[in-house]
């Protein structure tokens, strides 16, 4: 008669349940590649793609954290961040965005997002962030949750795109943000119109109404503004700068630069260099004067 085997209790406890979470997809280009396929296996998700469904989904799921995915966020989409912080202050938010500026990052952290990442984000990094968020909420659960302190309303103003507040361009802010990242590439009207969910004619009218100039004129001025910045670099050549800001024809760049700035690009660069040389003795004289007074 065989001796009955006695099952030994496993020293390892039950595996932790996957964290409950909400994935909020607020991209302008829903057909482009998303982080969602990499995230899906690693939590118990509810996925939301419309702002109107956001509050109900969070209330039903009772998530432990939420992820917001943006590409080129406009004012309407960004409003989801302060909305969630206000309605669900204990909910950690992970924000992923393709468009990035220092102003946007500062605004996000002022809204007390738990983490802010600029895409592309590798699958391994994304999984680590999800696991860290799940571990974090389990760790703080005994303390009653994670509540961000209240913020003054002035700190919750939307971040700007290219020195303009998002409120100034509610229908075309995504296009302006896209230009800021891709100005050196071909920037066809159809591409930016699709970003704004408008036809080309609707986009052209909306852009002119919100910015006071046509889209193509705005793009030219933006490229020339960047060229002026690059020409201040000591070793930059005019031809190199022209190609860096999206002009393939050097003579056309020269004509546009002169028309907008008032002088040829080479003269503009020489003027900057002369100003830089003149500033050196002035700084030295000021330093010597202050040193002599000590």
| pLDDT value for 278 | 66
Query: Rounded to two decimals, what is the model's pTM?
Result: 0.56
Domain assignment present for 82: yes
The CA radius of gyration of the chain, in Å to the nearest whole number, is: 26
d(CA 172, CA 197): 9
Domain assignment present for 280: no
- The verdict on 111 and 213 lying in the same domain is no
Domain assignment present for 277: no
Pair 89, 45: CB distance under 8 Å = no
- The verdict on 77 and 95 lying in the same domain is yes
- Residue 195, domain CATH: 1.10.10.60
- The verdict on 37 and 142 lying in the same domain is yes
Pair 106, 21: CB distance under 8 Å = no
- The verdict on 189 and 146 lying in the same domain is no
First to last CA, the chain: 102
- The verdict on 151 and 43 lying in the same domain is yes
| pLDDT value for 294 | 52
- Average pLDDT per block of 10 residues along the chain, 294 residues long: 46 66 92 94 94 88 94 86 87 91 82 88 92 80 48 40 47 82 91 90 91 89 90 89 94 94 91 72 49 52
Domain assignment present for 221: yes
- The verdict on 48 and 133 lying in the same domain is yes
- The verdict on 223 and 267 lying in the same domain is yes
């Amino acid at each position: 008669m065989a001796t009955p085997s006695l099952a030994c209790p496993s020293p390892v406890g039950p595996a932790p349940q996957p964290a409950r979470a909400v994935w909020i997809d607020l991209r302008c280009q829903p057909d482009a590649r998303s982080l969602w396929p990499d995230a899906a296996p690693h939590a118990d998700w509810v996925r939301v793609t419309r702002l109107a469904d956001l509050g109900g989904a969070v209330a039903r799921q009772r998530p432990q954290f939420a992820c917001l995915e943006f590409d080129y966020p406009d004012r309407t989409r960004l409003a989801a961040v302060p909305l969630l912080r206000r309605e669900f202050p204990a909910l950690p938010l992970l924000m992923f965005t393709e468009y990035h500026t220092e102003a946007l990052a500062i605004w996000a952290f002022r809204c007390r997002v738990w983490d802010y990442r600029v895409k592309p984000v590798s699958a391994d990094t994304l999984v680590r962030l999800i696991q860290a968020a799940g571990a974090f909420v389990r760790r703080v659960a005994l303390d009653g949750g994670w509540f961000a302190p209240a913020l003054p309303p002035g700190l919750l103003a939307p971040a700007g795109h290219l020195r303009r507040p998002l409120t100034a361009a509610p229908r075309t802010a995504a296009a302006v943000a896209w230009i800021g990242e891709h100005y050196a590439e071909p920037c066809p009207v159809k591409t930016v119109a699709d970003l704004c969910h408008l036809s080309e004619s609707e986009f052209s009218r909306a852009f002119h109404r919100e910015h006071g100039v046509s889209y193509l004129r705005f793009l030219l001025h933006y490229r020339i503004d960047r060229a002026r910045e690059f020409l201040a670099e000591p070793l930059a050549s005019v031809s190199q700068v022209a190609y860096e800001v999206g002009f393939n024809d050097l003579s056309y760049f020269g004509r546009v630069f002169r028309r907008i700035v008032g002088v040829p690009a080479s003269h503009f660069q020489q003027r900057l260099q002369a100003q830089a040389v003149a500033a050196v003795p002035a700084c030295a004289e000021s330093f010597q004067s202050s040193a002599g007074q000590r």
